[in-house]
Structure 1
């Protein structure tokens, strides 16, 4: 089979776009609509008000991680001639991240069971809050590997020259940012109240969205062929 890397790059861009869109929807937009840490009882009302949106977020999150699993495999074919070990390392980190992320979704399914009661008075607000906490604890562990995979990915972009080096720099900084946001709250209780968590997320957002759009709309800076 003879296939151009330009086509592989565009396909990777499509998969990356699916990952980004479904991730933003399920991990940012829906939680902002349904999760309020300070008021467990209000959570129940929000969940019931946005029940379909919450159910849709579960499907979206599964789709996100499924696409995420495929992404580094496609990228491996683009970068294996640059450094086959680092391109494999990308896959390894994602292979750890995806099962952890999917395991976290099981707690969303538990939330659905808890919310299955018809009467608000029968729903245990504290139990629901505990399930939200368990979900986010597993997501935090998964985020370690969401960050780690960006380090070899960013480095491969930087040294290969097939994508803008600046994108590689942002991806590597983004990987470090994930580590900062994981370690910070553990070491410093007031960490989340500072501006650091927001600043630490910026490089990964620029790097990942920028790389996604570049692959999708422009492709590679250098054209070559991969034969298998």
Structure 2
């Protein structure tokens, strides 16, 4: 989860996305389409591992509080659809790039959709930690 997360959320975007220059960003994404597709795949893998993590922890922590354990699992589970919706925006852009139909407008739409949904995800990425901390203590 950590490796795929660092790749999908930090390293690959820094190689591809130039925040102040959509023209250069689109050129980067077009010329390095395989890296962009790998970033998308890594984000899906990260989401799968993130969903599995609280279930693995629950085996050890549920005796400390079954309700809190279910809350922890629920908060993680709520982040997964938002994460996948964010990734879906980039997947659509990758398909447009592969088909040669990507425009600056489609790049802007994909980036806005990604930021919106990844923002929702990050809320839940943080909300599951207090129940985890309570169970550990």
TM-score range, shorter chain: over 0.9
Instruction: Tell whether 2:135 aligns with 1:156.
Output: yes
The match for 1:21 is 3
Which stretches in structure 2 are left out of the alignment for 5+ residues?
none
Contact 2:93 2:102 in 1 (8 A): no
Of 63, 68, 88, the residue aligned with 2:45 is 63
Alignment deviations for residues 87-121 of structure 1 (CA, whole Å, 9 cap, x no partner): 11110001100111111111011111221344xxx
Alignment deviations for residues 151-173 of structure 1 (CA, whole Å, 9 cap, x no partner): 1112222x1xxxxxxxxxxxxxx
Of 87, 95, 113, the residue aligned with 2:77 is 95
Which stretches in structure 1 are left out of the alignment for 5+ residues?
1-18, 160-228
Of 79, 104, 113, the residue aligned with 1:125 is 104
The match for 1:204 is none
The match for 2:15 is 33
Of 22, 31, 47, the residue aligned with 1:49 is 31
Of 86, 90, 107, the residue aligned with 2:89 is 107
The match for 2:122 is 143
Question: Structure 1 pair 83/123, CA: closer, same or farther in 2 (3 Å)?
Answer: closer
Contact 1:97 1:145 in 2 (8 A): yes
Give, in whole Å, the separation in 1 of the partners of 2:9 and 2:39.
8
Structure (1 or 2) with the larger CA radius of gyration: 1
Aligned alpha-carbon RMSD (Å): 1.4
Alpha-carbon distance, 1:141 to partner: 0.5
* Moved beyond 6 Å, runs of 4+: none
**TM-score between the two structures when normalised by the length of structure 2:** 0.93
The match for 1:174 is none
Give, in whole Å, the separation in 2 of the partners of 1:90 and 1:146.
10
- From the two aligned structures, give the one with the greater helix fraction: 2
